């Protein structure tokens, strides 16, 4: 994965308890529906991922691409668990 630093506003939101995908999505001004269209996931799937439900790595990579982030960006972040 390419080195990438999250913007300070996103880091602040995360430290205040906002899940990382939601924090970055909101930082960019995107709605869940915007990301659903771009990622090919449903709005419900994205909301569940943002809430911490388990999904496979492919879903996280699709969200990363939809947000303009490198694939694998969310692999090591603790609030996005792997599918069981």
Domain boundaries along the sequence of the chain: 8-66
What would the pLDDT profile of 8-40 be if each residue is shown by its tens digit? 999 999 999 998 889 999 999 999 999 999 999
At 28 the pLDDT is 95
The count of other CB atoms within 10 Å of the CB of residue 8 is: 9
Please report, rounded to a whole number, the percentage of residues in the chain having pLDDT higher than 70. 85
Mean local confidence (pLDDT), 53-64:
84
At 58 the pLDDT is 87
Please report, rounded to a whole number, the percentage of residues in the chain having pLDDT higher than 90. 50
Whether pTM exceeds 0.85: no
The fold for domain 8-66 equals: 434 Repressor (Amino-terminal Domain) (1.10.260)
**How many whole angstroms separate alpha carbon 67 and alpha carbon 42?**
15
């Amino acid at each position: 994965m390419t080195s990438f630093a999250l913007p300070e506003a996103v880091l602040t939101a995360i430290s205040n308890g906002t899940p990382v995908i939601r924090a970055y999505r909101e930082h960019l001004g995107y709605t869940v529906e915007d990301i659903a269209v771009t990622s090919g996931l449903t709005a419900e799937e994205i909301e569940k991922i943002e809430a911490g439900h388990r999904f496979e790595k492919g879903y996280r990579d699709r969200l990363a691409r939809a947000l303009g982030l490198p694939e694998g960006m969310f692999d090591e972040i603790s609030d996005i668990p792997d599918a069981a």
